[in-house]
Amino acid sequence: MLVCTLGDLLLDVIVRLESPLAPGDDVVAMTMLAPGGQAANVAAWVAALGSEARIVAVHAEDDAGVIARRGLDARRVDVRGPVGTRTGVVVSLVQPDGERTMASDRGSAPDLRAEDVDPAWLECDALHVSGYALLGGAATRAAALARERGASVSADLSSWTHVDLRRNAMRDALQEMKPDVVFGNEREWEAIGDVDAHVRVVKRGARGIVVDGAAHEAVPVEAVDSTGAGDALAAGFIVGGARLALETASRCVTQVGAMP
């Protein structure tokens, strides 16, 4: 199975705090660098589950881009897409209880255009589109090309703040794409409202997921970092359904960082 993702290839700077931030003072933390971006995370987890993975994204040749590409190469993810000028960076602050807050700089990632998408990149069994990439035309063109080749299409709402700012445009894009599966957490679904999708997956963190009204409990684990759990869950769902989705998310939260 070949899963193609479309969205951002970024550099993650993950800062795991030993204690809550103290304004105007210093706290001890562990910091690591890794490739990131929702589409890159999903692709990496797909590869970790034994399937083939490809990401379509703008990728730059700056220092951050070199680190991100090297990380994806090591995880057996095929990178396609146009060359941009600057790799985006996401700083993820992970609290001692595993909750995280992110500050995102997308760099050249939003510059992916419909005319940049090569039909050969969409020779796949499934296409997954990040919510951050829904606008601008590249996503709808990629979805159409993937469907022509018999692939399923899924999308992730990604961020309730992103949805809240661009609700109508995102709804229009989803209507045009007609995804088979749409992923989102409870707040994202509340922000977007009703959208046309064959399957609705509601991500509820430690409470598991709801798939078209049917609840599935999470796998009990001791979480150390929730970064990327939703992306791992999406990868598992695409490859093997609800059970594998929950198992993959549980693997993600027991480690630091979003990637396997």
- Pairwise CA distance, residues 260 & 242, whole Å: 19
pLDDT exceeds cutoff 90 at 161:
no
pLDDT tens-digit profile of 203-256? 998 899 999 989 999 999 988 878 789 999 999 999 999 999 999 999 999 987
pLDDT exceeds cutoff 80 at 164:
no
- Pairwise CA distance, residues 58 & 56, whole Å: 7
- Pairwise CA distance, residues 242 & 246, whole Å: 6
pLDDT tens-digit profile of 241-259? 999 999 999 999 998 778 8
Strand-strand pairing, 87-94 and 10-17: parallel
Structural domains in the chain, sorted by start: 2-8+37-87+107-253 (3.40.1190.20)
CB 237 within 8 A of CB 201: yes
Q: What is the pTM of this model?
A: 0.89
- Pairwise CA distance, residues 44 & 50, whole Å: 10
| Sheet hosting strand 10-17, strand order edge to edge | 29-36, 10-17, 87-94, 100-107
More confident residue, 111 or 166: 111
Mean pLDDT of 26-53: 93
Mean pLDDT of 159-171: 73
pLDDT exceeds cutoff 80 at 15:
yes
Mean pLDDT of 150-160: 89
Mean pLDDT of 113-121: 94
Residue 17, beta-bridge partner list: 29
Mean pLDDT of 132-159: 91
- Pairwise CA distance, residues 231 & 237, whole Å: 10
Mean pLDDT of the chain: 90
pLDDT of residue 136: 78
pLDDT exceeds cutoff 90 at 102:
no
Strand-strand pairing, 87-94 and 100-107: antiparallel
Mean pLDDT of 7-32: 87
Structure tokens at 203: 């991500």
* Helix 229-240 with 38-48: angle, nearest 10 deg: 50
Return phi, psi of residue 91, to 5°. Answer: -100, 120
pLDDT exceeds cutoff 90 at 94:
no
